[in-house]
Structure 1
Amino acid sequence: MKNLDLNHLIDLDALLSEGSVAGAARRLNLSAPAMSRRLAHLRHALGDPLFVQAGRGLVPTQRALDLRERVRTLIEEVRSILAPPDIELAHVERTFTLRTSDGVIGTWAAALCARLLELAPGITLRFVLRPKKSMEALRSGEVDLDLGVLDGDAPEIKTQTLLRAQFMGVVRADHPLARLENINVERFIAWPHVNASRRGVADGPIDHALAAVNAKRRVALVVPSFQAAMAMAMSSDFIAAIPEPFARWSAHSSQLHIFALPVVTPQVSIAMSWHPRHDTEPVHRWLREQIRQTTASVFKPTGGAG
């Protein structure tokens, strides 16, 4: 039985099911001569004629009859392995670990969880904070999805951009700047600033843009997340800079005023990342789609998805 592969099993199954070369050829969309050559190969490999002449037709040998059910079972088993599994989301029991910042958790986690409770109530989300950019937690399986500002990558890690946005200025609703229609550079740098940085750095794209026009702001406070920066802006004279969708969403439910920055800064990308071993996994892929749809629904992003 040398040089046999799955294709030969498919050929044998077609011959045994149809009982003729012509029928098997039609089933496999082959010509009759091509099917005859495949039958000749099977006969040689199995050491049995498989079909013998009986009048004008062919009848299976005993070996062929003995193989028919076994071959059919094997083919069905292979197809069940290779076919995409049917997922009954209502019966899925699983916990996913999502690594992100508290700002992302606070803004849309409730909407995502409401969606999952309706569609797949057995799925539990476990959020952990993003203290650093390392992708090792994705590689090890400690984390299923990484969510947040796209600020680094790893060669094998899969990434999808959920939204792209400009930074906006944020101050409390009764801040003196909230009464102004136009906030120029001079007014912008006249007040203390709070900078959101997971790495604890005080400068960033805004400072680079200000330097280009010979201006400098006073960063008096550095916090680890956008959520913390907005909280400080809401309760003090500080100015915070937040990606526009987060700022606009938060302004609906808090005493915040948002305004366009007086300098142009690069867009920030909010993305989700995962290890390629989960790329085609049905439930993981379904969860990624729910995250994408929830982001689009909550933030109504103006940028495209990558």
Structure 2
Amino acid sequence: MTRSPSRQPLDLNLLVTLDALLSEGSVAGAANRMNLSPPAMSRQLARIRHLMNDPVLVRAGRGLVATPRAEAVRAQVRQLVQDAEGLVRGNADLDPATIERTFTIRSSDGFVGTFGAAIVELVVQQAPNARLRFVGEGNEDVDSLRDGRVDLDIGVIDGMGPEIRLQTLFRDRYIGVVRADHPLAQETVTIENFVAYPHVSVSRRGRFEGPVDTALALQGMRRTVSVAVANVADGLSIVSRSDHIVLLPGRIAAWYRRDFHGFELPVVTDELPPISIAWHPRFEKDAAHRWLRTCVREGAL
């Protein structure tokens, strides 16, 4: 007789696999994180789908998105895995109030402006003797993580190699942002009036073009990007006193939209690369470092 999935013995390793899949949002990312081949991870996903009687992750454009059932259990699965890790490693009873340490976090000004206050509040409440040092993005090298000059790297991270631990914080998409009394704040945004105004590009590498330009070109349209700046604050400063439009990740822009107007783009672009946290394996089992990673994840919810 065939047993139903709910009566099968539970393989607890599948919880770790599910956590990796939901965190990474891709089979390839989860496979890399768990040192498995993509085909092996696909087989694990098939087992999870059978066990939960749910697709768990479904195709959306070029990526995968979690089903409502998977979203509902995401936080619970993450907590179960963290509790298990703490139990096995013997660090589950760390009291954050005893931490006296300065942690250095490398991230963009947009991330700090949006999530910094929530992260700091968690740290102050739980570990009043700990200190945070936020430093700007620049040369995202492995050495600074390896030697402890930087505890966590936060942003769009690639090219660091398999040595570095990586976990997705969230995924985002571009929206348009203008000053609150901009003409576009009072009318429906179309491709025609979107390209009629000048644009600001926020790019650390000084790029004037991006995915939205590719999408516009498919419609036979082109925007005018008259200035490129290195950070969000400078872009918003220009937008606040001009008719320029700036494109920002939606979650980053949410904080600033108290003073600005945000709108959906009139063209469809791919989802932005995920915002992730990166750290060196030497801190993988460090209880205080794990606590810091938890604060960052909770603060960025």
Give the TM-score normalised by the residue count of structure 1: 0.66
Match of 1:290 among 292, 295, 300: 295
CA distance in 1 between counterparts of 2:285 and 2:105 reads 18
Alignment of 1:34-113 (within 5 A): 83-84=90-91, 86-113=93-120
Unaligned runs of 5+ in 2: 1-88
Match status 1:201 vs 2:210: no
Match of 2:182 among 175, 180, 198: 175
User: Which one-letter code corresponds to 2:189 in the other structure?
Assistant: I
User: Which one-letter code corresponds to 2:241 in the other structure?
Assistant: S
Map of 1:186 onto structure 2: 192
- Answer whether contact 1:106 1:227 (CA < 8 A) is retained: no
CA distance in 1 between counterparts of 2:173 and 2:125 reads 33
CA distance in 2 between counterparts of 1:173 and 1:83 reads 53
Q: How big is the shift at 1:152?
A: 4.5
Match status 1:124 vs 2:131: yes
Give the TM-score normalised by the residue count of structure 2: 0.67
Map of 1:32 onto structure 2: none
Counterpart secondary structure, 1:115: helix
Q: Alpha carbons of 1:248 and 1:83: their partners in 2 closer, same or farther (altered >3 Å)? A: closer
Match status 1:223 vs 2:223: no
Map of 2:264 onto structure 1: 260
Q: Alpha carbons of 1:250 and 1:153: their partners in 2 closer, same or farther (altered >3 Å)? A: same
- Answer whether contact 2:144 2:150 (CA < 8 A) is retained: yes
CA distance in 2 between counterparts of 1:84 and 1:151 reads 30
User: Which one-letter code corresponds to 2:106 in the other structure?
Assistant: R
Identity of aligned residues (%): 43
Where do 4+ consecutive residues of structure 1 move more than 4 Å?
none
Q: How big is the shift at 1:230?
A: 2.3
- Answer whether contact 1:103 1:228 (CA < 8 A) is retained: no
User: Which one-letter code corresponds to 1:128 in the other structure?
Assistant: V
For these two proteins, the number of residue pairs brought into alignment is 213
Q: Which entry has the higher C-alpha Rg, 1 or 2?
A: 1
Map of 1:273 onto structure 2: 278
Q: How big is the shift at 1:87?
A: 1.8
Counterpart secondary structure, 1:126: strand
Counterpart secondary structure, 2:282: helix
CA distance in 2 between counterparts of 1:177 and 1:132 reads 37
Counterpart secondary structure, 2:169: strand
Q: How big is the shift at 1:247?
A: 1.6
Counterpart secondary structure, 1:108: helix
Over the aligned positions, Cα root-mean-square deviation in angstroms equals 1.9
Query: Deviation string for 1:226-253 (max 9, x for gaps)?
Result: 232223222221100011112222212x
Match of 2:162 among 151, 155, 164: 155
- Answer whether contact 2:208 2:228 (CA < 8 A) is retained: yes
Match status 1:233 vs 2:239: yes
